[in-house]
Structure 1
């Protein structure tokens, strides 16, 4: 029986357990399309990427894995996207022991402290949203593939379901070898995928509040105001930056009509912040576009959802702190509310730990490969932020480099704060404080 006062302590263990189970299943001969079983490293990398809803791959999903193997992968990123906190809640409610969530318990989920109330209410909300969005997107994509691309119903339904679940869970896996590059001019294929990604990247607490008080900005909590507002800001900024940078690039947006340029620039503004679908060849991006992706991937999406990165609220809190210091204000604030010192320290810790891990990961990749710095940095940020975009180097990584990416995906999914919590079980606060003395800064 699991005994713990803090459900967050179970997150790394549960994630690791699902990853190992997925690895074993993918190593079985029936999971591979070709002869023999998949090697351990290939299975482990794919399982980690799926559970961490990242989307980085070392082998081509539709050709390397059998239909059964692809079903296993889809199940893994559905579980990963569903959320380890929800899984822990479900287990506690199902067996009536072990993990329990009390009424109005302040629960830490993926670096965010949220008041989500009863565990069964969380489970119900997640189930309703998951089923509704995935079913709707599956229906749209299936009909589009059947009637516009003349696919058989079975094939259309399979591809529609796979992409709907992958998009909703921000997984970035595709049942097509070229991701969604075959639909560069198709709004009815790309728009539902983008909308599913954006909705779930807001985070479940925001979705719950938007459902209860839609279009009532003044009634929203500070968390929801920040998440919704800055999601719009980042999407618009990313769209403009990518459209401008790639406008005349003959290998990306250059040959396209105006409408197609806008569609693909928008998709590549959505995906770096959370999911790994691509309609353009990322390896052909200009350096300025890669730099934009670095920033968008590092920030990520909303808290307590399937998005990765340091999260929007972390970025905004740090931005507010810097702005308040520049203006000489005592408190950092936004929308008429000031941030507490504890939240500011947490945001700083998350950002510094994330940057340190990404830097270490990039240096490790450089040590074991001959890739350029820009590719190593892109790969490290994409892995840690569980984005899944790549400049095309993932499949050529040697085993030590693959291990680095696996570690980054796992830590990035679990979250730097929850990892620290799990490693510091039972840590006691010091019963004293040192005298204050301030060094020179800057």
Structure 2
């Protein structure tokens, strides 16, 4: 009898296959900007970072890799953000005009479509939204870079396209060594990038809900309402907190004008939630701002989008559970809806395992290096949350530390998704129940 691969395993293996393929392509001499071989770890780390839409790098993307190598990297984070099985689904739709049940199940794992009937429409929405957004942002950036910053049309077009695709996929890769710091005061560069990050990171199920019910917010799903409200709170709260902490810092916001400070703080708040671009020097932030980034990076963006982290929906469900417990309610409620107990269990499991990965990764890297603990924590959370922000220590880590970061990036991009999906798909009713007791808590 033919053994069928579980959908969650199929997704994980698809990402692994893309990483291996990307590594092989980056090892080619054609990918290197200068003569000489590319170290295997450099190619592997870059491929993992690209496929997992993280953005952490051990070499400068713009000078180390050739145009071919940069194109490979861009294709990898496009595929990584777009989704392995979503791409396969669209290919199947174009060829057969229909989907097998198993293909729908595998795609449902990655897109978090609410029902088998939604898979095709969500997959098409992913395609249209992705390319429409990327083309629009790329056009705006190209025009701005050519007209206002004097870049030749060819260079402006390549930079605009690369950064548009990177932004929408929350990849954080930049062909500039200072990321976007050179454009820190240019709203017409940073604002389009911010829009691309938010649209890509909010999650395709939310976009699907907004597209079909945009005129009637009362009928939006609880997931959509939680994601949008939590995203707004984190973006505004993150920017306000960063302004308070960095307002007078001479190495970050201090020298900027008031509009410049507001723009840079807003961009940092948006980017910290898995995008990985920076318009101010991350290494020069205060320790309090690093701690803020720990939280924003760990939470991440919306489910089933291009963002990473444990997801805002997960944190929102846990906060609702805490509020219900404090108020003595038996159910967690929000927006006139009750959260299922299975969703609560899944949220707790994702948070606990995500926290465990961060702790294990931090301890492992600290054991093999003498880098300050706060910088290691920043790097680990950035890798697990597939953010890509760094205090500048990535290239200085020993090989074992860099390999740990690749594992964290892979788990962050694939693990929490497959975990939540496997919990949902594997849920079953037991034919018996044990006697109940109440252990002491707190």
Name the residue aligned to 2:227: 227
Asked if 2 retains the 8 angstrom alpha-carbon contact of 1:8 and 1:85, the reply is no
Name the residue aligned to 1:207: 207
Query: Structure 2 matches for 1:95-244, cutoff 5 A?
Result: 100-101=100-101, 108-109=108-109, 112=112, 114-115=114-115, 117-214=117-214, 216-244=216-244
User: 1:205, 1:112 → 2: CA distance?
Assistant: 7
User: 2:110, 2:375 → 1: CA distance?
Assistant: 27
SS of the equivalent of 2:114 reads: strand
Name the residue aligned to 2:408: 408
- Range that drifts further, 205-214 or 93-102: 93-102
Asked if 2 retains the 8 angstrom alpha-carbon contact of 1:89 and 1:100, the reply is no
Report deviation, 1:212: 2.2
Name the residue aligned to 2:304: 304
User: 1:378, 1:182 → 2: CA distance?
Assistant: 23
User: 1:44, 1:408 → 2: CA distance?
Assistant: 14
- Range that drifts further, 153-162 or 205-214: 205-214
Q: Report Cα offsets for 1:32-88 as digits up to 9, x if no partner.
A: 112222111110100000000000000000011011000000000000010123034
Gaps of 5+ in 2: none
- Range that drifts further, 3-12 or 356-365: 3-12
> Is 1:346 aligned to 2:383, yes or no?
no
User: 1:148, 1:161 → 2: CA distance?
Assistant: 17
Asked if 2 retains the 8 angstrom alpha-carbon contact of 1:166 and 1:172, the reply is yes
Aligned CA distance change for structure 1 residues 25 and 112 (closer, same or farther; 3 Å):
same
SS of the equivalent of 2:117 reads: coil
Asked if 2 retains the 8 angstrom alpha-carbon contact of 1:9 and 1:422, the reply is no
Q: Report Cα offsets for 1:176-201 as digits up to 9, x if no partner.
A: 11100000110000000000000111
- Range that drifts further, 88-97 or 179-188: 88-97
Report deviation, 1:102: 7.5
Report deviation, 1:438: 2.4
- Range that drifts further, 166-175 or 210-219: 210-219
TM-score (normalizing by structure 2): 0.94
- Range that drifts further, 216-225 or 144-153: 216-225
> Is 1:328 aligned to 2:328, yes or no?
yes
Report deviation, 1:110: 5.3
Aligned CA distance change for structure 1 residues 322 and 341 (closer, same or farther; 3 Å):
same
User: 2:440, 2:16 → 1: CA distance?
Assistant: 43
User: 1:384, 1:216 → 2: CA distance?
Assistant: 36
Name the residue aligned to 2:68: 68
> Is 1:396 aligned to 2:396, yes or no?
yes
Aligned CA distance change for structure 1 residues 121 and 311 (closer, same or farther; 3 Å):
same
Aligned CA distance change for structure 1 residues 106 and 195 (closer, same or farther; 3 Å):
same
Report deviation, 1:8: 2.8
Name the residue aligned to 1:31: 31
SS of the equivalent of 1:128 reads: helix
Aligned CA distance change for structure 1 residues 108 and 357 (closer, same or farther; 3 Å):
farther
Aligned CA distance change for structure 1 residues 213 and 417 (closer, same or farther; 3 Å):
closer
Asked if 2 retains the 8 angstrom alpha-carbon contact of 1:106 and 1:116, the reply is no
> Is 1:280 aligned to 2:283, yes or no?
no
Report deviation, 1:211: 1.9
Aligned CA distance change for structure 1 residues 149 and 418 (closer, same or farther; 3 Å):
same
SS of the equivalent of 2:272 reads: helix
Report deviation, 1:439: 1.6
Report deviation, 1:93: 4.0
Asked if 1 retains the 8 angstrom alpha-carbon contact of 2:226 and 2:313, the reply is yes
Q: Report Cα offsets for 1:367-386 as digits up to 9, x if no partner.
A: 11111111111111110010
Q: Report Cα offsets for 1:111-131 as digits up to 9, x if no partner.
A: 956336254323321111111
User: 2:250, 2:345 → 1: CA distance?
Assistant: 45
User: 2:103, 2:77 → 1: CA distance?
Assistant: 29
How many residues were matched structurally?
A: 442
> Is 1:4 aligned to 2:4, yes or no?
yes
User: 1:341, 1:144 → 2: CA distance?
Assistant: 50
Name the residue aligned to 2:261: 261
Q: Report Cα offsets for 1:134-178 as digits up to 9, x if no partner.
A: 010010000001111111110000000000000010000001111
Report deviation, 1:219: 2.0
Report deviation, 1:210: 1.4
